[in-house]
């Protein structure tokens, strides 16, 4: 076996499809978000404006958060020292879990090392402890949910994205007493659309199914306290399991689930992805705790965040750029071709000091390649002037399709 040739073939295939990924070498300026220094291959640097961060409201630079992290390092050191079972449960973990449970109106919460791990661990475990479980999974669910569902080995049905009629047609077919789980997201991060939570909950009740909701792109951002779309829509108490991240709007890192005590205790007791890995370090948990508490009390940040997204969508539409129909803070613009998508992203960076990464297959279906903008409260009108002007010019230069067919 020529291993090297096999790896080369695999990478060449990705390159041939125009979706080979190159990471931009960035260093953020704390206090001047969303500005960052970008280092080119030749070592030279430029200042750029980042338009695609999932640090949605700039919590990664909030002094409340960074001070808490510094303090935790000074008080408790760097690592946690082990798994939660073996001396890795610090007071910070206990406090943060209690805060997260409160945020979602649940009895309990469990911290995991990332949102990916939380989804994988929780969903795989649910399938294992509920024999005969049938999982109903939205077609656009995140890779981490798919991984968990696959690893759990339960019977799996994929319903068309946000299509509750399709979901019901599948639920009807199953024995009423079979254990069922509906796995879905609130804000879908590539299109920016939002699921019908109340409608899904109603179906779950009718067919006696559990609901598992990934609120990764909504925690901290929706609802008066940032409890997510479930809070905004008044259904917090009707969703069985909420999964979130501390790495996006909360600006730190880590993942969690929240739910009833027995359910959380089950995941805690069975999930390999929780049990057999070193727990998050004190600095991250302390930073996340400070971030959650602060963002809970600052609804004006959420209002400004939504306003910035609305403004950017409007300004793109005014110049005929094909904004996809998002109802959230995510502003996707359709390019529809992986080579063009990468080219426009490269030109924005090299010629305009604007960074937005191309979104290509397999993150989105082929033919729907796009640029995905995430304006934060720190993106100014002047930054938007620069962005809209640059994009308008590049759209003409590359002859990419404008509005019509994709009107928002
Ligand atoms: C990013 C993401 C995750 C994973 O969260 P991390 O904390 O980054 O591991 C889970 N679900 C969705 C929908 C995501 O977009």
Using CA atoms in the order 216, 217, 222, 227, what is the torsion angle rounded to 10 degrees? 10
Let me know: does 62 contact 251? Beta carbons within 8 Å: yes
Question: What tens digit of pLDDT does each residue of 294-339 get?
Answer: 999 999 999 999 999 999 999 999 999 999 999 999 999 999 998 8
Distance CA 198, CA 185 (A): 13
Let me know: does 388 contact 60? Beta carbons within 8 Å: no
Question: What tens digit of pLDDT does each residue of 45-63 get?
Answer: 999 999 999 999 999 999 9
Distance CA 99, CA 94 (A): 9
C-alpha atoms less than 13 angstroms from C-alpha of 142 in its C-beta half-sphere: 24
* Confidence check: pLDDT of 167 > 90: yes
Average of per-residue pLDDT across 377-398: 96
Average of per-residue pLDDT across 343-349: 95
Which residue among 59, 113, 140, 142 is best mutated to probe the pocket of ligand 1, counting the most ligand atoms within 8 A of its Cβ? 142
Distance CA 155, CA 180 (A): 10
Which residue among 189, 191, 216, 253 is best mutated to probe the pocket of ligand 1, counting the most ligand atoms within 8 A of its Cβ? 216
C-alpha atoms less than 13 angstroms from C-alpha of 58 in its C-beta half-sphere: 24
* Confidence check: pLDDT of 407 > 70: no
Residue 398 pLDDT grade (very low, low, confident, very high; cuts 50, 70, 90) = confident
Residue 22 pLDDT grade (very low, low, confident, very high; cuts 50, 70, 90) = confident
Helix H or strand E encompassing 141: none
* Confidence check: pLDDT of 401 > 80: yes
Average of per-residue pLDDT across 177-193: 97
Let me know: does 359 contact 372? Beta carbons within 8 Å: yes
CA 119–ligand 1 middle distance (angstroms): 8
The pLDDT mean for the chain works out to 96
Alpha helix positions (H), 224-281: 229-232, 261-270, 272-275
Distance CA 97, CA 265 (A): 13
* Confidence check: pLDDT of 236 > 50: yes
Helix axes 63-76, 282-296, angle to 10 degrees: 150
Residue 363 pLDDT grade (very low, low, confident, very high; cuts 50, 70, 90) = confident
Q: What pLDDT shows up at residue 405?
A: 44
Annotation marks residue 206 as catalytic = no
Distance CA 212, CA 205 (A): 13
Percent of the chain at pLDDT exceeding 70 = 99
Which residue reads 């399991």 in tokens? 241
Ligand 1 binding site (Cβ under 6 Å of any ligand atom): 114-116, 119, 142, 144, 185, 189, 214, 216-217, 245, 247, 255
Average of per-residue pLDDT across 2-15: 96
Closest atom of ligand 1 relative to the 255 alpha carbon: 7
Distance CA 395, CA 371 (A): 12
**Other Cβ atoms closer than 10 A to 81:** 16
**In terms of Cα–Cα distance, which of 295, 276, 285 is closest to 121?**
276
Q: What pLDDT shows up at residue 404?
A: 61
Let me know: does 217 contact 328? Beta carbons within 8 Å: yes
Poorest-pLDDT segment among 38-47, 134-143, 358-367 = 358-367
CA 245–ligand 1 middle distance (angstroms): 7
CA 400–ligand 1 middle distance (angstroms): 31
Distance CA 170, CA 168 (A): 5
CA 139–ligand 1 middle distance (angstroms): 16
Let me know: does 345 contact 356? Beta carbons within 8 Å: yes
């Amino acid at each position: 076996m020529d291993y090297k040739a096999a790896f080369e073939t695999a990478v060449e295939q990705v390159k041939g499809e125009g979706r080979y990924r190159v990471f931009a070498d960035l260093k953020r300026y704390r206090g001047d978000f969303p500005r960052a220094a970008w280092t080119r291959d030749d070592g030279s640097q430029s200042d750029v404006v980042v338009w695609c961060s999932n640090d949605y409201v700039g919590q990664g630079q909030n002094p409340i958060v960074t001070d808490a992290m510094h303090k935790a390092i000074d008080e408790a050191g760097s690592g946690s020292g082990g798994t939660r079972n073996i001396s890795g449960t610090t007071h910070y973990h206990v406090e943060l879990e209690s805060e997260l449970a409160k945020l979602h109106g649940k009895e309990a919460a469990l911290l995991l090392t990332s949102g990916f791990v939380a989804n994988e661990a929780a969903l795989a475990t649910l399938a294992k402890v509920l024999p005969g479980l049938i999982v109903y999974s939205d077609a656009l669910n995140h890779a981490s949910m798919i991984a968990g569902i696959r690893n759990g080995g339960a019977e799996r049905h994929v319903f068309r994205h946000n299509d509750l009629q399709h979901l019901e047609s599948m639920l009807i077919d199953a024995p009423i007493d079979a254990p069922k789980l509906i796995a879905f997201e609130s804000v879908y991060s590539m299109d920016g659309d939002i699921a019908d939570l109340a409608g899904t909950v109603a179906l779950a009740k009718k067919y006696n199914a559990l609901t598992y909701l990934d609120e990764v792109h909504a925690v901290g951002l929706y609802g008066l306290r940032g409890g997510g779309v479930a809070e905004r829509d008044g259904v917090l108490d009707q969703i069985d399991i909420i999964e979130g991240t501390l790495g996006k709007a909360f600006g730190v890192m880590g993942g969690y689930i929240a739910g009833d005590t027995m359910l959380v205790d089950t995941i805690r007791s069975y999930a390999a992805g929780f049990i057999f890995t070193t727990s998050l370090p004190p600095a991250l948990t302390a930073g996340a705790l400070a971030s959650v508490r602060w963002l809970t009390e600052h609804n004006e940040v959420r209002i400004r965040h939504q306003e910035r997204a609305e403004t950017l969508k409007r300004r793109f539409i005014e110049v005929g750029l094909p904004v996809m129909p998002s109802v959230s803070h995510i502003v996707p613009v359709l390019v529809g071709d992986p080579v063009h998508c990468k080219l426009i992203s490269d030109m924005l960076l090299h010629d305009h000091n604007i960074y937005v990464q191309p979104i290509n297959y397999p993150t989105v279906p082929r033919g729907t390649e796009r640029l995905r903008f995430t304006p934060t409260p720190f993106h100014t009108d002047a930054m938007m002037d620069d962005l809209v002007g640059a994009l308008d010019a590049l759209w003409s230069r590359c002859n990419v399709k404008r509005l019509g067919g994709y009107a928002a």
